[in-house]
Structure 1
């Protein structure tokens, strides 16, 4: 039986602006929410340092203004998000903890902004338009970037805020060992880094026995260089929307709020 492709209702608007906030960059574009395609060129601005609410909100304003956008906006955020409020801040300024992110961005832009966890947004996009479309059972999306994000889906339904990047791995926070940023900082080859990814994903596999892994983030564009090195029982597919998944998922959430 084919699973529903999303836990969100069908799109109520055919376009929304998606913003993907990461530890190193903030990207945005107008998205066709019926097809998952970008209607405008993706624009990226480096994440400000320090990445405080005021500084990040200013970048979101720049992206929306550059696109001359006046409709609904969706934004991903690298944190546990409960009712629009950040409950963690792994790769952004700790001043975000306890902040109503929805309210901060809505006030700054003057628009209706919907915020959700970054990996959850990417997973929603992949479930509806990408590598997990029509897949039933347990699907886990893992995004490898500044940290490791995760999205868990059961028969197309999102289990929000899983944060599997913070599982303990070899006595350390997993993302401090296997994030793509660690590969870059330590100048590791894909073969070297894949060993750490293997250890991490094997741990996740033992805990959840998923039916499918999807791997995303910037390194997904080079999936052929490291995914074949993984030896897991669970099938692994690269994210099809690549680095646009967060933008698309954020726009979906905004259009379907």
Structure 2
């Protein structure tokens, strides 16, 4: 199998592409539609079907991976941070398989991004503990130890003044509060200092949409751990989901 399809469902957008598995790169255009307001299950499913139609891939034998912003265990979504509360305890994998009429591999979105960067990106060949964080609508995280995924970490929900730290530190907070890069980096410093203290990682990789602009904030951080942008940037979730589907 040389190709697979990846779909990355986020809090603001649903993206998809066909992935070349040998090189870990998109071999199609990346298509995107806004995540439906409220992110109810039926509306999200309909939008996923739309982005697959936009890809124009008629070969249903291609593996399909779907990345989703929630903790996932045995195909069931256990959390709902930037999506409808109906997803909590929901048999999401079965719901998507029935709705799309095909088998899928269903994974956490940050975990998918972490796998992409470990196999084909900034964490390739990295030893010991790599922590990838996706900075977007919320904060996702993936732990990779010697390239092996430890699934369902949720560093964006570390407690900060009685709330999830992602409410204060995600890229969406910068946009919402119109923060300067310097002011936002000061918040990121608090987050990464705490994660560094708890886990003593060997490498941080930063993904999500803001990874397109690493020069604006990474040099402002003062950490003991090396920190680098994701090579595949906002396509990491698509590539990782497709890679896991092909395993």
TM-score normalised over the length of structure 2 = 0.97
Check conservation: 1:45, 1:59, Cα contact below 8 A: yes
Q: Distance in 2 between matches of 1:181 and 1:66?
A: 27
Q: SS at the partner of 1:64?
A: helix
- Of 90, 108, 115, which aligns to 1:99? 90
Matched, 1:130 2:118: no
Query: Residues 38-72 of structure 1: CA distance to partner in whole angstroms, max 9, x if unpaired?
Result: 11100110000121111000011111122233232
Q: What is the match of residue 46 of structure 1?
A: 34
Matches within 5 A, 1:24-39: 24-39=12-27
Question: Over aligned residue pairs, what C-alpha RMSD do you find?
Answer: 0.9
Check conservation: 2:207, 2:233, Cα contact below 8 A: yes
Check conservation: 1:169, 1:200, Cα contact below 8 A: no
Deviates more, 1:161-170 or 1:215-224: 161-170
Q: Distance in 2 between matches of 1:49 and 1:250?
A: 24
Query: Residues 96-125 of structure 1: CA distance to partner in whole angstroms, max 9, x if unpaired?
Result: 111122111111211211110010000000
Q: What is the match of residue 252 of structure 1?
A: 243
Q: What is the match of residue 159 of structure 1?
A: 150
Q: What is the match of residue 185 of structure 2?
A: 194
Q: How far did 1:170 drift?
A: 4.0
Q: What is the match of residue 2 of structure 2?
A: 14
Q: How far did 1:186 drift?
A: 0.2
Deviates more, 1:63-72 or 1:209-218: 63-72
Q: Distance in 2 between matches of 1:171 and 1:223?
A: 29
Structure 1's unaligned 5+ residue stretches are: 1-12
Q: Distance in 2 between matches of 1:68 and 1:102?
A: 23
Check conservation: 2:79, 2:88, Cα contact below 8 A: yes
Q: Distance in 2 between matches of 1:231 and 1:169?
A: 20
Q: Distance in 1 between matches of 2:51 and 2:216?
A: 33
Q: Distance in 2 between matches of 1:189 and 1:18?
A: 34
Deviates more, 1:23-32 or 1:163-172: 163-172
Check conservation: 2:24, 2:239, Cα contact below 8 A: yes
Deviates more, 1:65-74 or 1:181-190: 65-74
Structure 1 residue ranges, 4+ long, deviating more than 6 angstroms after superposition: none
Query: Residues 10-30 of structure 1: CA distance to partner in whole angstroms, max 9, x if unpaired?
Result: xxx211110000000000011
Q: How far did 1:172 drift?
A: 3.0
- Of 164, 167, 182, which aligns to 1:173? 164
Q: SS at the partner of 1:150?
A: strand
Q: How far did 1:88 drift?
A: 0.6
Q: Distance in 2 between matches of 1:207 and 1:66?
A: 43
